[in-house]
Structure 1
Amino acid sequence: MKHLILLPLALLSSLATAKDMPVFDAHIHYSHDAVIQVPPKEAAAILRKAGLKKALISSSDDNGTQAIYKEAPDIVVPALRPYRRRGEISTWMHDPTVITYVESRLAKYKYKALGEFHAYGDDIDTPVLQRMIALAKQHDLLLHAHSDADAIDRIFKTFPDARVLWAHSGFGRPDEIRASLRKHKNLWSDLAFRDDQASENKVPAEWRAAFEEFPDRFVVGTDTFAPERWYYIGSHADYTRGWLKDLPATIAKKIAYENAETMLSLHNEK
Protein backbone atom coordinates (compact mmCIF):
# COMPACT_ATOMS: atom_id res chain seq x y z
CA MET A 1 0.00 0.00 0.00
CA LYS A 2 2.88 2.39 0.73
CA HIS A 3 4.10 2.07 -2.86
CA LEU A 4 0.63 2.82 -4.18
CA ILE A 5 0.62 6.05 -2.16
CA LEU A 6 4.19 7.14 -2.90
CA LEU A 7 3.94 6.75 -6.67
CA PRO A 8 1.09 9.23 -7.14
CA LEU A 9 2.83 11.70 -4.81
CA ALA A 10 6.01 11.50 -6.86
CA LEU A 11 4.02 11.97 -10.04
CA LEU A 12 2.21 14.98 -8.61
CA SER A 13 5.54 16.46 -7.56
CA SER A 14 6.85 16.10 -11.09
CA LEU A 15 3.74 17.66 -12.61
CA ALA A 16 4.00 20.60 -10.22
CA THR A 17 7.52 21.47 -11.37
CA ALA A 18 6.27 23.91 -14.02
CA LYS A 19 4.40 25.85 -11.36
CA ASP A 20 6.85 25.83 -8.46
CA MET A 21 8.35 29.15 -9.62
CA PRO A 22 6.08 31.53 -11.54
CA VAL A 23 7.86 33.17 -14.47
CA PHE A 24 7.10 36.48 -16.17
CA ASP A 25 8.59 36.25 -19.67
CA ALA A 26 9.30 39.87 -20.54
CA HIS A 27 10.47 39.40 -24.12
CA ILE A 28 8.19 37.54 -26.54
CA HIS A 29 7.27 38.38 -30.13
CA TYR A 30 4.29 36.99 -32.02
CA SER A 31 4.81 38.39 -35.50
CA HIS A 32 2.83 37.63 -38.66
CA ASP A 33 4.92 34.59 -39.63
CA ALA A 34 4.63 33.16 -36.10
CA VAL A 35 0.84 33.55 -36.25
CA ILE A 36 0.84 31.35 -39.37
CA GLN A 37 3.19 28.70 -37.96
CA VAL A 38 1.81 28.73 -34.40
CA PRO A 39 -1.90 29.72 -34.49
CA PRO A 40 -3.25 31.76 -31.55
CA LYS A 41 -4.89 28.86 -29.70
CA GLU A 42 -1.69 26.80 -29.94
CA ALA A 43 0.39 29.79 -28.89
CA ALA A 44 -1.81 30.38 -25.85
CA ALA A 45 -1.49 26.70 -24.94
CA ILE A 46 2.31 27.00 -25.10
CA LEU A 47 2.24 29.93 -22.67
CA ARG A 48 0.04 28.01 -20.24
CA LYS A 49 2.02 24.78 -20.47
CA ALA A 50 5.20 26.74 -19.71
CA GLY A 51 3.58 27.88 -16.45
CA LEU A 52 4.03 31.54 -17.29
CA LYS A 53 2.40 33.97 -14.92
CA LYS A 54 2.57 36.79 -17.45
CA ALA A 55 4.23 37.51 -20.78
CA LEU A 56 5.12 40.86 -22.35
CA ILE A 57 4.29 40.30 -26.02
CA SER A 58 4.79 42.46 -29.11
CA SER A 59 4.61 41.72 -32.80
CA SER A 60 5.27 42.89 -36.36
CA ASP A 61 2.62 43.90 -37.26
CA ASP A 62 0.52 44.49 -34.13
CA ASN A 63 -2.24 42.09 -35.23
CA GLY A 64 -0.34 39.16 -33.73
CA THR A 65 -0.31 40.78 -30.31
CA GLN A 66 -4.04 41.44 -30.48
CA ALA A 67 -4.73 37.85 -31.57
CA ILE A 68 -2.78 36.23 -28.73
CA TYR A 69 -4.21 38.73 -26.22
CA LYS A 70 -7.73 37.59 -27.12
CA GLU A 71 -6.73 33.96 -26.47
CA ALA A 72 -4.89 34.58 -23.20
CA PRO A 73 -5.82 37.96 -21.67
CA ASP A 74 -4.90 36.66 -18.22
CA ILE A 75 -1.29 36.10 -19.31
CA VAL A 76 -0.54 38.49 -22.17
CA VAL A 77 0.67 42.02 -21.41
CA PRO A 78 0.50 43.86 -24.77
CA ALA A 79 3.39 45.92 -26.10
CA LEU A 80 3.36 47.92 -29.34
CA ARG A 81 6.24 47.56 -31.77
CA PRO A 82 6.77 50.33 -34.34
CA TYR A 83 7.35 47.71 -37.05
CA ARG A 84 4.60 46.88 -39.51
CA ARG A 85 6.67 44.20 -41.24
CA ARG A 86 10.06 42.58 -41.05
CA GLY A 87 12.90 44.59 -42.53
CA GLU A 88 12.15 47.91 -40.82
CA ILE A 89 14.67 47.48 -38.00
CA SER A 90 17.27 49.84 -39.48
CA THR A 91 14.94 52.27 -41.26
CA TRP A 92 11.96 52.90 -38.99
CA MET A 93 13.57 55.78 -37.09
CA HIS A 94 13.72 57.77 -40.35
CA ASP A 95 10.15 57.03 -41.45
CA PRO A 96 7.53 59.51 -40.18
CA THR A 97 4.69 57.18 -41.25
CA VAL A 98 5.73 54.98 -38.31
CA ILE A 99 4.39 57.61 -35.94
CA THR A 100 1.06 57.70 -37.75
CA TYR A 101 0.85 53.92 -37.34
CA VAL A 102 1.84 53.98 -33.64
CA GLU A 103 -0.59 56.78 -32.81
CA SER A 104 -3.45 54.99 -34.58
CA ARG A 105 -2.81 51.79 -32.59
CA LEU A 106 -2.54 53.67 -29.31
CA ALA A 107 -5.91 55.25 -30.02
CA LYS A 108 -7.50 51.85 -30.63
CA TYR A 109 -5.90 49.48 -28.10
CA LYS A 110 -4.36 49.42 -24.63
CA TYR A 111 -0.66 48.69 -24.13
CA LYS A 112 1.88 48.64 -21.33
CA ALA A 113 5.01 49.23 -23.43
CA LEU A 114 6.40 50.57 -26.69
CA GLY A 115 8.85 48.17 -28.32
CA GLU A 116 10.89 46.17 -28.58
CA PHE A 117 12.47 48.67 -30.98
CA HIS A 118 16.03 48.89 -32.31
CA ALA A 119 17.88 52.20 -31.95
CA TYR A 120 21.53 53.05 -31.39
CA GLY A 121 23.42 56.18 -30.40
CA ASP A 122 22.08 59.33 -32.04
CA ASP A 123 19.12 57.44 -33.55
CA ILE A 124 17.43 58.65 -30.37
CA ASP A 125 17.76 62.24 -31.57
CA THR A 126 15.70 61.68 -34.74
CA PRO A 127 12.21 63.22 -34.81
CA VAL A 128 10.61 59.76 -34.96
CA LEU A 129 12.36 58.56 -31.79
CA GLN A 130 11.72 61.82 -30.02
CA ARG A 131 8.01 61.47 -30.79
CA MET A 132 8.05 57.85 -29.61
CA ILE A 133 9.54 58.96 -26.30
CA ALA A 134 6.91 61.71 -26.03
CA LEU A 135 4.18 59.12 -26.63
CA ALA A 136 5.64 56.92 -23.90
CA LYS A 137 5.46 59.87 -21.53
CA GLN A 138 1.92 60.79 -22.61
CA HIS A 139 0.57 57.25 -22.23
CA ASP A 140 2.77 56.18 -19.29
CA LEU A 141 4.39 53.36 -21.28
CA LEU A 142 7.59 51.43 -20.73
CA LEU A 143 10.17 51.77 -23.51
CA HIS A 144 11.62 48.38 -24.52
CA ALA A 145 14.84 49.38 -26.26
CA HIS A 146 17.27 47.13 -28.15
CA SER A 147 20.04 49.68 -27.90
CA ASP A 148 23.60 50.46 -26.91
CA ALA A 149 24.51 52.30 -23.70
CA ASP A 150 24.78 55.61 -25.56
CA ALA A 151 21.19 55.34 -26.78
CA ILE A 152 19.99 54.47 -23.28
CA ASP A 153 21.69 57.60 -21.94
CA ARG A 154 20.06 59.69 -24.67
CA ILE A 155 16.59 58.33 -23.85
CA PHE A 156 16.96 59.41 -20.24
CA LYS A 157 18.41 62.77 -21.30
CA THR A 158 15.21 63.34 -23.31
CA PHE A 159 12.88 61.95 -20.65
CA PRO A 160 14.56 61.64 -17.22
CA ASP A 161 11.55 59.88 -15.67
CA ALA A 162 11.24 57.29 -18.43
CA ARG A 163 10.94 53.60 -17.60
CA VAL A 164 13.23 51.61 -19.89
CA LEU A 165 13.71 47.89 -20.37
CA TRP A 166 17.11 47.36 -21.98
CA ALA A 167 16.67 44.44 -24.37
CA HIS A 168 19.47 41.91 -23.93
CA SER A 169 21.15 44.62 -21.86
CA GLY A 170 23.04 45.58 -24.98
CA PHE A 171 24.71 42.16 -24.79
CA GLY A 172 27.12 43.84 -22.41
CA ARG A 173 29.21 42.34 -19.63
CA PRO A 174 27.76 42.29 -16.11
CA ASP A 175 30.07 45.11 -15.00
CA GLU A 176 28.96 47.27 -17.95
CA ILE A 177 25.31 46.61 -17.18
CA ARG A 178 25.84 47.47 -13.53
CA ALA A 179 27.42 50.80 -14.53
CA SER A 180 24.32 51.75 -16.52
CA LEU A 181 21.97 50.60 -13.75
CA ARG A 182 23.84 52.84 -11.33
CA LYS A 183 23.30 55.83 -13.64
CA HIS A 184 19.59 55.30 -14.27
CA LYS A 185 17.18 54.38 -11.49
CA ASN A 186 14.36 53.50 -13.91
CA LEU A 187 16.39 51.17 -16.11
CA TRP A 188 15.77 47.40 -16.06
CA SER A 189 17.99 44.74 -17.56
CA ASP A 190 16.42 42.21 -19.95
CA LEU A 191 18.30 38.90 -19.87
CA ALA A 192 16.54 37.51 -22.96
CA PHE A 193 18.49 35.25 -25.28
CA ARG A 194 21.54 35.12 -23.05
CA ASP A 195 23.11 31.84 -21.98
CA ASP A 196 26.10 33.22 -20.10
CA GLN A 197 24.37 34.04 -16.81
CA ALA A 198 24.15 30.37 -15.82
CA SER A 199 25.98 27.13 -16.51
CA GLU A 200 24.72 23.80 -15.18
CA ASN A 201 22.26 25.78 -13.03
CA LYS A 202 25.09 27.68 -11.34
CA VAL A 203 25.19 31.46 -11.46
CA PRO A 204 28.71 32.79 -12.23
CA ALA A 205 30.26 35.13 -9.68
CA GLU A 206 30.10 38.21 -11.92
CA TRP A 207 26.37 37.73 -12.52
CA ARG A 208 25.69 36.92 -8.87
CA ALA A 209 27.32 40.21 -7.92
CA ALA A 210 25.11 42.06 -10.41
CA PHE A 211 21.95 40.37 -9.13
CA GLU A 212 22.89 41.06 -5.52
CA GLU A 213 23.64 44.74 -6.18
CA PHE A 214 20.46 45.24 -8.21
CA PRO A 215 17.97 42.55 -7.14
CA ASP A 216 15.05 44.74 -8.31
CA ARG A 217 16.34 45.50 -11.82
CA PHE A 218 16.63 42.23 -13.78
CA VAL A 219 13.92 40.39 -15.72
CA VAL A 220 13.93 37.25 -17.89
CA GLY A 221 12.68 36.55 -21.40
CA THR A 222 12.86 34.10 -24.29
CA ASP A 223 13.00 36.46 -27.31
CA THR A 224 10.95 34.60 -29.93
CA PHE A 225 12.56 36.52 -32.78
CA ALA A 226 11.68 33.71 -35.21
CA PRO A 227 8.53 31.53 -35.27
CA GLU A 228 10.37 28.34 -34.25
CA ARG A 229 11.53 30.05 -31.07
CA TRP A 230 7.95 29.67 -29.77
CA TYR A 231 8.69 26.00 -29.17
CA TYR A 232 11.49 27.01 -26.77
CA ILE A 233 9.30 29.04 -24.42
CA GLY A 234 8.61 26.09 -22.13
CA SER A 235 12.18 24.81 -22.03
CA HIS A 236 13.49 28.33 -21.48
CA ALA A 237 11.12 28.78 -18.53
CA ASP A 238 12.42 25.55 -17.03
CA TYR A 239 16.02 26.62 -17.68
CA THR A 240 15.28 29.91 -15.94
CA ARG A 241 13.80 28.16 -12.92
CA GLY A 242 16.89 25.96 -12.79
CA TRP A 243 19.50 28.70 -12.47
CA LEU A 244 17.30 30.89 -10.28
CA LYS A 245 17.40 28.14 -7.65
CA ASP A 246 21.09 28.95 -7.20
CA LEU A 247 20.15 32.41 -5.90
CA PRO A 248 18.58 33.38 -2.56
CA ALA A 249 14.84 32.82 -2.75
CA THR A 250 13.99 36.52 -2.35
CA ILE A 251 16.20 37.50 -5.31
CA ALA A 252 15.01 34.55 -7.41
CA LYS A 253 11.37 35.60 -7.01
CA LYS A 254 12.18 39.15 -7.99
CA ILE A 255 13.97 38.15 -11.18
CA ALA A 256 11.42 35.46 -12.05
CA TYR A 257 8.36 37.70 -11.97
CA GLU A 258 8.17 40.40 -9.29
CA ASN A 259 10.51 42.88 -11.02
CA ALA A 260 8.57 42.70 -14.28
CA GLU A 261 5.31 43.34 -12.46
CA THR A 262 6.81 46.40 -10.76
CA MET A 263 8.44 47.64 -13.98
CA LEU A 264 5.11 47.49 -15.82
CA SER A 265 3.12 48.90 -12.88
CA LEU A 266 0.90 45.81 -12.80
CA HIS A 267 0.64 45.96 -9.00
CA ASN A 268 -1.63 48.99 -9.41
CA GLU A 269 -4.16 46.79 -11.20
CA LYS A 270 -4.51 44.14 -8.48
Structure 2
Amino acid sequence: MKYPLILTLSLLSSIAAAESMPVFDAHIHYSHDAVIQVPPAEAAALLRQAGVKKALISSSDDDGTQKIYQQAPEIVVPALRPYRRRGEISTWMNDPTVIDYVEARLAKYKYKALGEFHAYGADIETPVLQHMIALAKQHDLLLHAHSDADAIDRIFKTFPQARVLWAHSGFDRPDEIRAMLRKHKNLWSDLAFRNDQASNGKVPDEWRAAFEEFPDRFMVGTDTFAPERWYYIASHAEYTRGWLKDLPPVLARKIAFENADKMLGTKNGK
Protein backbone atom coordinates (compact mmCIF):
# COMPACT_ATOMS: atom_id res chain seq x y z
CA MET A 1 0.00 0.00 0.00
CA LYS A 2 2.96 2.30 0.54
CA TYR A 3 3.96 2.61 -3.11
CA PRO A 4 0.51 3.49 -4.50
CA LEU A 5 0.24 6.20 -1.84
CA ILE A 6 3.62 7.65 -2.84
CA LEU A 7 2.65 7.59 -6.51
CA THR A 8 -0.69 9.24 -5.72
CA LEU A 9 0.94 11.99 -3.70
CA SER A 10 3.51 12.53 -6.46
CA LEU A 11 0.76 12.81 -9.06
CA LEU A 12 -1.21 15.29 -6.96
CA SER A 13 1.94 17.31 -6.41
CA SER A 14 2.63 17.43 -10.17
CA ILE A 15 -0.95 18.52 -10.91
CA ALA A 16 -0.80 21.29 -8.29
CA ALA A 17 2.54 22.47 -9.65
CA ALA A 18 1.14 22.60 -13.19
CA GLU A 19 -1.95 24.53 -12.10
CA SER A 20 0.17 27.14 -10.31
CA MET A 21 2.90 27.17 -12.96
CA PRO A 22 4.12 30.68 -13.78
CA VAL A 23 3.80 31.80 -17.38
CA PHE A 24 6.08 33.96 -19.49
CA ASP A 25 3.72 35.54 -22.02
CA ALA A 26 5.95 36.26 -25.01
CA HIS A 27 3.42 38.13 -27.13
CA ILE A 28 1.54 41.06 -25.60
CA HIS A 29 0.73 44.52 -26.99
CA TYR A 30 -0.35 47.56 -24.99
CA SER A 31 -1.14 50.11 -27.67
CA HIS A 32 -2.63 53.59 -27.33
CA ASP A 33 -6.25 52.40 -27.38
CA ALA A 34 -5.54 49.73 -24.77
CA VAL A 35 -3.98 52.37 -22.49
CA ILE A 36 -7.30 54.25 -22.60
CA GLN A 37 -9.57 51.23 -22.13
CA VAL A 38 -7.35 49.36 -19.63
CA PRO A 39 -5.33 51.94 -17.62
CA PRO A 40 -1.76 50.97 -16.70
CA ALA A 41 -2.46 50.09 -13.05
CA GLU A 42 -5.37 47.88 -14.10
CA ALA A 43 -3.31 46.25 -16.85
CA ALA A 44 -0.51 45.47 -14.38
CA ALA A 45 -3.06 43.98 -11.96
CA LEU A 46 -4.42 41.74 -14.73
CA LEU A 47 -0.92 40.37 -15.38
CA ARG A 48 -0.35 39.65 -11.70
CA GLN A 49 -3.76 38.04 -11.22
CA ALA A 50 -3.07 35.77 -14.20
CA GLY A 51 0.16 34.53 -12.62
CA VAL A 52 2.21 35.95 -15.49
CA LYS A 53 5.85 35.77 -14.38
CA LYS A 54 7.15 37.88 -17.25
CA ALA A 55 5.64 39.41 -20.38
CA LEU A 56 7.33 40.58 -23.57
CA ILE A 57 5.33 43.74 -24.27
CA SER A 58 5.34 46.10 -27.24
CA SER A 59 2.92 48.80 -28.29
CA SER A 60 1.85 51.27 -30.97
CA ASP A 61 3.19 53.75 -30.08
CA ASP A 62 5.89 52.88 -27.55
CA ASP A 63 4.40 55.09 -24.80
CA GLY A 64 2.09 52.24 -23.77
CA THR A 65 5.02 49.94 -23.12
CA GLN A 66 6.77 52.57 -21.02
CA LYS A 67 3.63 53.25 -18.97
CA ILE A 68 3.02 49.63 -18.06
CA TYR A 69 6.71 49.07 -17.41
CA GLN A 70 6.51 51.77 -14.74
CA GLN A 71 3.61 49.91 -13.12
CA ALA A 72 5.15 46.41 -13.27
CA PRO A 73 8.92 46.53 -13.89
CA GLU A 74 9.31 43.07 -12.36
CA ILE A 75 7.03 41.61 -15.07
CA VAL A 76 7.36 43.75 -18.19
CA VAL A 77 10.14 42.95 -20.65
CA PRO A 78 10.04 45.89 -23.08
CA ALA A 79 10.10 45.41 -26.84
CA LEU A 80 10.17 48.28 -29.31
CA ARG A 81 7.59 48.12 -32.06
CA PRO A 82 8.30 50.25 -35.17
CA TYR A 83 4.66 51.36 -35.44
CA ARG A 84 3.75 54.80 -34.13
CA ARG A 85 0.04 54.25 -34.70
CA ARG A 86 -2.33 51.58 -35.97
CA GLY A 87 -2.50 51.23 -39.73
CA GLU A 88 1.25 51.11 -40.39
CA ILE A 89 1.50 47.32 -40.60
CA SER A 90 1.65 47.22 -44.39
CA THR A 91 3.50 50.52 -45.00
CA TRP A 92 6.19 50.85 -42.32
CA MET A 93 8.88 48.97 -44.27
CA ASN A 94 8.76 51.69 -46.95
CA ASP A 95 8.81 54.65 -44.56
CA PRO A 96 12.34 55.88 -43.71
CA THR A 97 11.02 58.05 -40.86
CA VAL A 98 10.42 54.79 -38.97
CA ILE A 99 14.17 54.50 -38.46
CA ASP A 100 14.34 58.00 -36.95
CA TYR A 101 11.62 56.98 -34.51
CA VAL A 102 13.24 53.66 -33.59
CA GLU A 103 16.69 55.19 -33.11
CA ALA A 104 15.26 57.95 -30.90
CA ARG A 105 13.51 55.40 -28.67
CA LEU A 106 16.59 53.20 -28.48
CA ALA A 107 18.60 56.21 -27.32
CA LYS A 108 16.07 56.97 -24.57
CA TYR A 109 14.93 53.57 -23.21
CA LYS A 110 16.15 50.01 -22.72
CA TYR A 111 14.65 47.11 -24.65
CA LYS A 112 15.15 43.38 -25.11
CA ALA A 113 13.60 43.10 -28.57
CA LEU A 114 12.52 44.88 -31.75
CA GLY A 115 8.97 44.01 -32.77
CA GLU A 116 6.56 42.49 -33.10
CA PHE A 117 6.76 43.71 -36.70
CA HIS A 118 5.06 42.44 -39.86
CA ALA A 119 7.26 41.67 -42.86
CA TYR A 120 6.99 39.08 -45.61
CA GLY A 121 9.38 37.76 -48.23
CA ALA A 122 11.23 40.52 -50.07
CA ASP A 123 10.12 43.12 -47.49
CA ILE A 124 13.31 42.14 -45.69
CA GLU A 125 15.37 43.61 -48.53
CA THR A 126 13.96 47.13 -48.12
CA PRO A 127 16.36 49.73 -46.66
CA VAL A 128 14.14 50.15 -43.60
CA LEU A 129 14.21 46.43 -42.73
CA GLN A 130 17.91 46.18 -43.43
CA HIS A 131 18.49 49.11 -41.07
CA MET A 132 16.26 47.48 -38.43
CA ILE A 133 18.31 44.30 -38.62
CA ALA A 134 21.49 46.36 -38.29
CA LEU A 135 20.05 48.02 -35.18
CA ALA A 136 19.25 44.62 -33.71
CA LYS A 137 22.87 43.63 -34.26
CA GLN A 138 24.20 46.89 -32.82
CA HIS A 139 22.05 46.76 -29.69
CA ASP A 140 21.96 42.96 -29.26
CA LEU A 141 18.18 42.80 -29.61
CA LEU A 142 15.89 39.92 -30.44
CA LEU A 143 13.79 40.35 -33.60
CA HIS A 144 10.10 39.46 -33.03
CA ALA A 145 8.91 38.83 -36.57
CA HIS A 146 5.36 38.22 -37.80
CA SER A 147 6.61 36.76 -41.07
CA ASP A 148 6.50 33.92 -43.54
CA ALA A 149 9.30 31.39 -43.83
CA ASP A 150 10.83 33.25 -46.77
CA ALA A 151 11.24 36.42 -44.68
CA ILE A 152 12.76 34.45 -41.81
CA ASP A 153 15.31 32.94 -44.19
CA ARG A 154 16.14 36.40 -45.53
CA ILE A 155 16.68 37.80 -42.01
CA PHE A 156 19.25 35.11 -41.29
CA LYS A 157 20.85 35.61 -44.70
CA THR A 158 21.31 39.29 -43.81
CA PHE A 159 22.47 38.59 -40.25
CA PRO A 160 23.36 34.91 -39.63
CA GLN A 161 23.81 35.50 -35.88
CA ALA A 162 20.39 37.11 -35.48
CA ARG A 163 18.05 35.94 -32.72
CA VAL A 164 14.50 35.70 -34.04
CA LEU A 165 11.21 34.96 -32.32
CA TRP A 166 8.76 33.77 -34.97
CA ALA A 167 5.37 35.22 -34.08
CA HIS A 168 2.58 32.64 -34.21
CA SER A 169 5.20 30.18 -35.52
CA GLY A 170 4.44 31.70 -38.90
CA PHE A 171 1.00 30.04 -38.78
CA ASP A 172 2.74 27.15 -40.52
CA ARG A 173 2.15 23.44 -39.93
CA PRO A 174 4.19 21.74 -37.18
CA ASP A 175 6.29 19.82 -39.73
CA GLU A 176 7.15 23.06 -41.55
CA ILE A 177 8.03 24.75 -38.27
CA ARG A 178 10.33 21.85 -37.38
CA ALA A 179 12.09 22.21 -40.73
CA MET A 180 12.72 25.90 -40.07
CA LEU A 181 13.98 25.24 -36.53
CA ARG A 182 16.40 22.65 -37.92
CA LYS A 183 17.67 25.21 -40.42
CA HIS A 184 18.14 28.13 -37.97
CA LYS A 185 19.60 27.46 -34.52
CA ASN A 186 18.70 30.97 -33.27
CA LEU A 187 15.04 30.76 -34.24
CA TRP A 188 12.34 30.42 -31.57
CA SER A 189 8.58 30.10 -32.05
CA ASP A 190 5.76 31.67 -30.10
CA LEU A 191 2.41 29.90 -30.05
CA ALA A 192 0.18 32.98 -29.81
CA PHE A 193 -3.19 32.43 -31.44
CA ARG A 194 -2.27 28.81 -32.23
CA ASN A 195 -5.36 26.99 -31.03
CA ASP A 196 -4.25 23.92 -32.98
CA GLN A 197 -1.50 22.96 -30.50
CA ALA A 198 -4.09 21.61 -28.05
CA SER A 199 -7.67 20.37 -28.08
CA ASN A 200 -9.63 19.49 -24.94
CA GLY A 201 -6.42 19.70 -22.97
CA LYS A 202 -4.61 17.21 -25.20
CA VAL A 203 -1.58 17.95 -27.36
CA PRO A 204 -1.88 16.50 -30.90
CA ASP A 205 0.82 14.09 -31.99
CA GLU A 206 2.29 16.45 -34.60
CA TRP A 207 2.75 19.21 -32.02
CA ARG A 208 4.06 16.81 -29.40
CA ALA A 209 6.71 15.67 -31.88
CA ALA A 210 7.71 19.30 -32.52
CA PHE A 211 7.93 20.10 -28.80
CA GLU A 212 9.93 16.96 -28.09
CA GLU A 213 12.39 17.56 -30.94
CA PHE A 214 12.87 21.22 -29.95
CA PRO A 215 12.09 21.44 -26.22
CA ASP A 216 14.01 24.72 -25.88
CA ARG A 217 12.48 26.61 -28.79
CA PHE A 218 8.76 27.11 -28.10
CA MET A 219 6.93 29.56 -25.83
CA VAL A 220 3.41 30.82 -25.26
CA GLY A 221 1.73 34.16 -25.93
CA THR A 222 -1.72 35.76 -25.79
CA ASP A 223 -1.41 38.45 -28.52
CA THR A 224 -3.48 41.33 -27.15
CA PHE A 225 -3.89 42.88 -30.60
CA ALA A 226 -7.07 44.68 -29.46
CA PRO A 227 -7.78 46.30 -26.07
CA GLU A 228 -10.45 43.78 -25.07
CA ARG A 229 -7.91 40.98 -25.44
CA TRP A 230 -6.37 42.17 -22.16
CA TYR A 231 -9.31 40.60 -20.35
CA TYR A 232 -8.37 37.22 -21.86
CA ILE A 233 -4.85 37.13 -20.40
CA ALA A 234 -5.92 35.22 -17.28
CA SER A 235 -8.12 32.73 -19.16
CA HIS A 236 -5.37 32.20 -21.71
CA ALA A 237 -2.87 31.50 -18.93
CA GLU A 238 -5.32 29.01 -17.43
CA TYR A 239 -5.85 27.37 -20.83
CA THR A 240 -2.08 27.19 -21.30
CA ARG A 241 -1.53 25.51 -17.94
CA GLY A 242 -4.29 23.06 -18.88
CA TRP A 243 -2.71 21.70 -22.04
CA LEU A 244 0.80 21.86 -20.62
CA LYS A 245 -0.30 19.23 -18.09
CA ASP A 246 -0.47 16.81 -21.03
CA LEU A 247 3.32 17.14 -21.45
CA PRO A 248 6.13 15.87 -19.22
CA PRO A 249 6.69 18.38 -16.37
CA VAL A 250 10.20 19.32 -17.48
CA LEU A 251 9.01 20.09 -21.02
CA ALA A 252 5.93 21.93 -19.72
CA ARG A 253 8.07 24.26 -17.61
CA LYS A 254 10.30 25.03 -20.57
CA ILE A 255 7.39 26.05 -22.79
CA ALA A 256 5.59 27.88 -19.97
CA PHE A 257 8.45 30.21 -19.02
CA GLU A 258 11.98 28.80 -19.03
CA ASN A 259 12.55 29.06 -22.79
CA ALA A 260 11.51 32.72 -22.95
CA ASP A 261 13.63 33.51 -19.89
CA LYS A 262 16.66 31.94 -21.53
CA MET A 263 16.01 33.49 -24.95
CA LEU A 264 15.74 37.01 -23.52
CA GLY A 265 18.26 36.66 -20.71
CA THR A 266 15.66 37.61 -18.09
CA LYS A 267 16.21 34.75 -15.65
CA ASN A 268 16.42 35.83 -12.00
CA GLY A 269 14.60 39.06 -12.77
CA LYS A 270 17.25 40.57 -15.05
Q: Normalising by the residue count of structure 2, what TM-score does the alignment of the two structures yield?
A: 0.93
Q: TM-score, normalised by structure 1?
A: 0.93
User: Aligned partners of 1:18 and 1:264: how far apart in 2?
Assistant: 23
**Paired residue secondary structure (2:195):** coil
1:194 Cα deviation after fit: 1.2
Secondary structure of 1:56's partner?
A: strand
Take 1:158 and 1:198, find their aligned partners in 2: how far apart are those partners?
Answer: 35
Q: CA deviation at 1:265?
A: 1.6
Q: Aligned AA for 1:110?
A: K
Gapped regions of structure 1 (runs ≥ 5): 1-12
Q: Provide the residue aligned with 1:249 in structure 2.
A: 249
Rounded Cα–Cα distance in structure 2 between residues aligned with 1:17 and 1:183: 34
2:40 matched residue in structure 1: 40
Unaligned runs of 5+ in 2: 1-12
- Aligned match of 1:231: 231
CA drift of 1:24 comes to 0.1
**Equivalence for 1:161:** 161
Which residue matches 1:170? 170
Aligned to 1:259: 259
SS of residue in 2 equivalent to 1:201:
coil
Whether the 8 Å CA contact 1:18–1:238 is kept in 2: the answer is no
Give the deviation of 1:18 after TM superposition: 9.1
Task: Give the deviation of 1:19 after TM superposition.
Answer: 6.7
Contact kept, 8 Å, 1:167 with 1:191, in 2: the verdict is yes
Query: 1:17, 1:79 → 2: CA distance?
Result: 30
User: 1:28: Cα distance to partner?
Assistant: 0.2
Partner of 2:194: 194
Task: Please say if residues 18 and 244 of structure 2, whose CA atoms lie closer than 8 Å, have aligned partners that are also in contact.
Answer: no
Partner of 1:93: 93
| Distance in 1 between residues matched to 2:189 and 2:51, nearest whole Å | 22
**Is 1:66 aligned with 2:66?**
yes
Q: Does 1:52 align with 2:19?
A: no
Shift in Å, 1:267: 3.4
Indicate the RMSD between aligned Cα atoms, in angstroms.
1.4
Q: Describe the shift of the 1:18–1:179 C-alpha distance in structure 2 as closer, same or farther (beyond 3 A).
A: closer
Residue 163 of structure 1, CA deviation: 0.4
State the distance in 2 between where 1:222 and 1:20 align.
Answer: 18
* Cα separation, 1, equivalents of 2:192 and 2:263: 16
Q: SS state of the match for residue 24, structure 2?
A: strand
Tell me, yes or no, if the aligned pair for 1:78 and 1:111 is still in contact at 8 Å.
yes
Aligned 8 A contact 2:28 2:55 in 1? yes
Distance in 2 (alpha carbons) for counterparts of 1:206 and 1:171 = 14
For 1:59 and 1:135, the matched residues in 2 are separated by 18
CA drift of 1:269 comes to: 6.4
User: How far off its partner does 1:195 sit?
Assistant: 0.6
CA contact (8 A) 1:112 1:141 kept: yes
What is the match of residue 7 of structure 1?
A: none
One-letter code of the match for 2:207?
Answer: W
Identity rate, percent: 85
* Contact 1:18 1:50 (C-alpha < 8 Å) held by counterparts: no
Q: Deviations over 1:150-205 (max 9, x none)?
A: 00000000000100000001100000000000000000011001111001110000
Partner of 2:85, secondary structure, is coil
**Structure 2: distance between partners of 1:267 and 1:228:** 30
Note if contact 1:18-1:51 (Cα within 8 Å) is conserved in structure 2.
no
- Residue 247 of structure 1 aligns to a residue whose secondary structure is coil
Separation (CA, whole Å) in 1 of partners of 2:72 and 2:37: 18
